[in-house]
Amino acid sequence: MSNPIPIEINSDADEFQNCFPSNTGSTAPLSLYDNSNIFKILTSQQLDDQLDQVDEEFDLLNQQMKNELQIDNFKSPLIQAFQVDMSSYITHEKLTKNSRRMQFEYENAKPKEREYVFQTFILNYIVNLSLDKYMHYILEKIIEVGPPKYRNIILDQIFNSINKLITDLYACKVMQKGLDIMAQFPQDSQNQFQKYINFIIDDNNFIKKLYTHKISNQIFQKCLEVFDGKSQHTLLLNLDKYILNNNQQQIELSTDQYGCLIVNKIIEILPKQIDQNSKQVANNIIMRAIENSSCLVRRQYANYIIQQILEKGQECHKRKLLDEYLVKDFVSMSMDKYGSNVAEKAIIYSGPQWRQKLWEEEVAVSEESFRKLVNDQFANYPIQRLYEYLTQEYRNEFFGYLQKLHESNFLNHHGQIVWKFALINLNTNRFAQRVNTKLNPQISSFQERNIQTSQQQVNQQYSANNQYQQYQSLLQQQQQYQQQQQLMYNYWIQQQQNPQQQPFDYQQYQAFLMQNTMMLQQSQQMYQQSQQFYPNFQNLQQNNSQIMQTLKMVQNQSD
């Protein structure tokens, strides 16, 4: 048998080399593959590429596994709240509820969960979130209860865009919250707080426009509250230039729609001032407002400054304003559209002496003056308020003047309103007096009935005690009769068994039965009268019925 032809098995390298153009006799130009060591290089490169690909696939699978594990059953409530779909098709009600839920969950979450949420959902979107109607509350909550480092990051990013954000309604609220918290914990945010202070107290053209801005003026009101010391004094000095002072910039905060709110805040914080320099500046502003009250009360927005002094101002400022300015200007002020509001507040927040002075020197000085005020379309409102706060003596005088004008037909439409108001008030007072006069005797009679009722209860208790004593004595007698009855019954039985003994005395026995019957009837009456007090009488009644049956049996046998 011939030997088989051996099969030659070439290696991968030989097969790969046979594909090279140089080995096949091809006339193609030499290439990279003509290098003899290229096989080793390519195989190692392919291996590295495969390893990199495997690593990428592993990382991808690991990330997918991590995402799969974070399903709702494993996610914390805080993460679930932040991952809720915030698309436009969700209603505002759901957005509001979700915002509140996020705030609540963040406040109760663990530090690691807060860190994950901040890094994932907050860090890269702070400016956009501060402009959002619902999400700006989340930034406020993080500033309030979150770690100081997160608070500082938020405040830094907002400060970088402060020229844009300070005029936005929602971002302005975030800044106010930040100022409030930084003032409470200045050691945690020293750099951030100082940057905001420097921006606020810088008296440049941009800041001047913000004083009268609809949104930005809220920042200055908040700063007046939270600033202290030198920063507050500097801010007050800047504002002082534009409040009832001659300035070249033509900025007057007291008569501006929003600037007057800053002046009102200065009046409000004055009693809380500790720094004497700041208090002096604020006091100068208020005194200038009092001196110019005749003009301010007739302005559309400035009249609120005078009302603020009457409501929340210090007593010395209030008395000076009332006694030296408003009482003399009351008539003309009351007949003004805006001044009538101040006149009402003056009557409400002044004392009885000032109202008496106002009535005697200004209102009731003449019938013409009174009629002018009553019939005026604006003055009739403070006149009604004056009638309401006057004492009874001056109220009667007021009603007399008013009744005289009514009978003379000198009251117009507005005067008729005052007449009806006074008449209703008078009838109400009279009705209250009648009720009081009728109610007092009823109250006294009610008290007498209470006394009688209490006395009856005492008497009933006393009679009940007497009945109980009678019951005790009756019970003792009943026991004695039972013993006697038992002895007599035993004696009668013995006589029936042994007739030779001494004969039984039936007359004595009949007397005993009659006496015992009377006692039983008495006990029954006592039981009926005192059953509600002493249930033990029921046992006595049962014993009496048994005794009666026994006695009747003995009597029947004796007969």
The C-alpha atoms of residue 530 and residue 537 are separated, in whole angstroms, by 8
Give the pair of three-digit tokens for residue 494. 């013995």
Distances (CA, A) of 445 to 430, 449, 450, 451, 453: 23, 6, 8, 10, 12
**Exposed/middle/buried for 418, CB within 10 Å: 0-12, 13-18, 19+?**
buried
Q: Is residue 444 part of a domain?
A: yes
- Residue 3 phi, psi dihedral angles, 5° rounding: -70, 135
- pLDDT for 370 equals 93
- Work out the pLDDT band at 28, boundaries 50, 70, 90: very low
Domain-embedded: residue 439: yes
Q: Is residue 457 part of a domain?
A: yes
**Closest CA relative to residue 359, chosen from 335, 338, 389:** 389
Asked if 387 contacts 344 with a C-beta cutoff of 8 angstroms, the reply is: no
* Structure letter (DSSP) for residue 272: G
Query: What range does the domain containing 520 cover?
Result: 432-497+507-558
Q: Are 182 and 155 in contact (CB under 8 A)?
A: yes
Domain assignment present for 312: no
Q: Residue 445 falls within a domain, yes or no?
A: yes
pLDDT tens per residue, range 378-425: 999 999 999 999 998 999 999 999 999 999 999 999 999 999 998 888
d(CA 188, CA 147): 10
Q: Determine contact, residues 277/233, Cβ cutoff 8 Å.
A: yes
Predicted pLDDT of residue 306: 96
8-state DSSP, 75: S
Say if residue 462's pLDDT is above 80: no
Residue 264 lies in a domain: no
State how many domains the chain has: 1
Q: CA quadruple 359, 362, 365, 367: dihedral positive or negative?
A: negative
Using alpha carbons, select from 272, 267, 299, 269 the residue that is nearest to residue 286: 267
Q: What is the pLDDT of residues 297-335, one digit of tens each?
A: 999 999 999 999 999 999 999 999 999 999 999 999 999
Q: Would you say 158 and 171 are in contact if contact means Cβ atoms under 8 Å apart?
A: yes
Q: Which amino acid, one-letter code, is at 107?
A: E
- Residues of the chain with pLDDT > 70: what percent? 62
Q: Is the dihedral of CA 302, 307, 313, 319 positive or negative?
A: positive
CA 109 – CA 111 distance, rounded (Å): 7
Helix pair angle (303-312, 339-349), 10° resolution: 10
The answer to whether position 520 is within a domain reads: yes
In a domain, 512, yes or no: yes
Residue 54 has pLDDT above 60, yes or no: yes
